[in-house]
Amino acid sequence: MTTLPTRSGLAELSAQGRLGLAWHALPWVLAFVVFYMAEGYLSLWTNALIMILLTLSLDLALGYAGIVTLGQAAFFGFGAYAAGLFAIHVHNDPLIGLVTATALSGLFGFVTGILILHTQGVTLLMLTLAVAGLLAEWANRAYEITGGDDGLQGVRMGPVLGLFRFDLYGKTAYLYSLAVLFVWFVVVWRIIVSPFGRSLDGIRQNPARMRAIGTPVWWRLVAIYTISAAMAGTAGALSAQTTRFVGLTTLSVLVSGTALVMLMLGGTRRIYGAFLGATVYVIVQDYAAKVNPFYWMFFIGALLMATVLFLEGGLMDLGATVRKYWRRAPVKKP
């Protein structure tokens, strides 16, 4: 019996037995190692967790379902503003705020998804950009509500579960984000190994085939887009709650682009690709940006191009790719 190539993350995930389980524990163990080792840098790592969440949300929509979007920032920013405004005007409990922001982002994703997912290709790409553009424009104009260019200031959070205050060292923020990430991770995992996830994988590969077996393609896409939007909204909300600030940049196309870079860097459809890509990105960026942020941008652009050209599976597939080129190298063209 031949096994599937490593590329098929689905088969891999579902095929792993108990030994796999230990493997799956690794990232979370590392997360705790970081917690104890990275004192003073926890806010950076919290940001990494948030970016992982954002990247994972993009992986669902783009990686699995094949919805080519440049508008993920719309949901990230929406969630961030929703959580910030909720904390200021309604209640400062983080969890209630988080759930509210998540639900609202999901709703926003649902409504826009219903509208735009009929289209494909560049048109869809443009529409995702337009949604983010509209929202950014609103946030910029509605100075009274959002603080416009100055950003949303004065977000004060109560303690998590009424027990854990957000401390100066960012310990609570880190663990809180980690817990939220874990919850979403479990959801994502369930989705991608489920029949629902497999149908999305099918839609990405060949929508005509899925229609021919009776799949309501559009509804499936709307569903995953909604979930992805909710998830990106959670990431934005976490960002608002842990940094106590929401800026206009949360809605910029750069956020969408960054998420794309992180996803491609790590590898799509690998679930841990998002973890790897986002972590590497955030950490390296922290060093590089101190030198000159534009060196970093140059590097990221070049890296993205190189990834597309030479490393299709991202870092998760680095081993396999290297082996492939290694083996191919000595063979002369016929």
| Subset of residues 7 to 66 that bind other proteins, contact rule: CB under 8 A | 7-8, 11, 62, 66
Q: Which position among 16, 22, 33, 119 is part of the footprint of other proteins (CB under 8 A)? A: 119
Closest CA to 54 of 69, 66, 42, 40: 69
Alpha helix locations (H) across the chain?
9-15, 18-37, 42-58, 72-89, 94-116, 121-141, 143-146, 171-193, 195-205, 207-212, 217-243, 253-266, 272-291, 293-310, 318-328
Cβ atoms of 139 and 249 within 8 Å: the answer is no
The Cα 7–Cα 276 span in angstroms is 16
Binding mask 140-179 for other proteins (x = CB under 8 A): -x--------------------------------------
Stretch that binds other proteins, among 20-28, 43-51, 74-82, 206-214 (CB under 8 A): 206-214
Tokens 């209630």, located at residue: 96
Stretch that binds other proteins, among 49-57, 96-104, 159-167, 308-316 (CB under 8 A): 308-316
User: Does 309 interact with other proteins (rule: CB under 8 A)?
Assistant: yes
Q: Which position among 46, 57, 199, 228 is part of the footprint of other proteins (CB under 8 A)? A: 199
Stretch that binds other proteins, among 18-26, 87-95, 126-134, 316-324 (CB under 8 A): 126-134
Shortest separation between residue 284's beta carbon and other proteins, angstroms: 15
Angle 299-231-168 from CA coordinates, rounded to 5°: 75
User: Does 201 interact with other proteins (rule: CB under 8 A)?
Assistant: yes
Q: Which position among 302, 319, 324, 325 is part of the footprint of other proteins (CB under 8 A)? A: 302
The Cα 289–Cα 63 span in angstroms is 28
Q: Which position among 125, 145, 283, 284 is part of the footprint of other proteins (CB under 8 A)? A: 125
